[in-house]
Amino acid sequence: MTMPVKVRDDMTQRHVVRPGDEPWRPSPAKGVERRMLDRIGAEVARATTIVRYEPGSRFDAHRHDHGEEFLVLEGTFCDEHGEYPAGTYVRNPPGSSHAPFTEQGCTIFVKLRQFDPEDTTRVVIDTAAARFSPGLVPGLSVLPLHQHKGVNTALVRWAPQCQFQPHMHWGGEEILVLEGTFRDEHGAYPTGTWLRSPHLSKHTPYVQEDGCLIYVKVGHLAA
């Protein structure tokens, strides 16, 4: 299969990918499929992807010259450095390498080749065991995952009927809905939806009776 060179590569545009909008595509490794969210490049690419591993599948050892960030969505992801059950957030810095595999199968959200060269600290967080802190409005709680040079990554939990004030995103915003349905004046985004809003975009987010949990990254789309 010839990999697409460009998928949602215009960072100045708003994009929404709901479950079922993108097909699963085979990877070079047997039993490993990918749902592409954005991509610039061929097999080695700046990419944001949902990756699904069948039980017993593995990927060849490889190096991350510009870093790797992933969040385990289902199952247990493994490499020679450890085991990462659902809810684990990992950052492997530029120059790191590993040979990933899974025994039971897993699904991960992964971002490749998007690190600042000076961001060299490996991060592993068990978000299922971590404590969230109160957010800026009642009903909002936040678990910071990473911060570097104005780029912030966190999990944000929204209680039912929670509403945030209108605001602008300096450097843009990227969201993956992990639980429930996230909403704003532009639409409703159920579990599994990925959104990317450009630099200086605006919205007024809220949730209804189900509440939600989202992965959110801000500040990385200014350039």
Residues 34-78: tens digit of each pLDDT:
999 998 877 777 889 999 999 999 998 989 999 999 999 999 999
> Which of 81, 96, 126 is a domain's end point?
126
Q: How confident is the model at residue 1, as a pLDDT?
A: 46
Query: Does a structural domain hold residue 15?
Result: no
Instruction: Check which CATH number belongs to the domain holding 57 and give it.
Output: 2.60.120.10
Residues 122 and 34 in one domain: yes
Residues 93 and 160 in one domain: no
Query: Does a structural domain hold residue 12?
Result: no
Residues 118 and 30 in one domain: yes
Residues 80-95: tens digit of each pLDDT:
999 999 999 999 999 9
Sign of the torsion angle spanned by Cα atoms 15, 214, 72, 81 = positive
Sign of the torsion angle spanned by Cα atoms 28, 215, 16, 122 = negative
Query: d(Cα 58, Cα 74) in Å, to the nearest integer?
Result: 16
Contact (Cβ atoms closer than 8 angstroms) between residue 117 and residue 94 = yes
Report the percent of the chain where pLDDT is more than 70.
Answer: 98
* pLDDT level of residue 151 (50, 70, 90 thresholds): very high
Say which amino acid occupies 199: H
Residues 159-182 have a mean pLDDT of 96
Q: How confident is the model at residue 221, as a pLDDT?
A: 92
Q: How confident is the model at residue 182, as a pLDDT?
A: 98
Q: How confident is the model at residue 159, as a pLDDT?
A: 97
Q: How confident is the model at residue 143, as a pLDDT?
A: 98
Task: Write the CA distances from 2 to 5, 34, 113, integer angstroms.
Answer: 9, 14, 20
The structure's pTM equals: 0.94
Q: How confident is the model at residue 223, as a pLDDT?
A: 67
> Which of 79, 96, 126 is a domain's end point?
126
The pLDDT of residue 4 is above 90: no
> Which of 66, 98, 126 is a domain's end point?
126
Residues 98-119 have a mean pLDDT of 94
Residues 183-203 have a mean pLDDT of 97
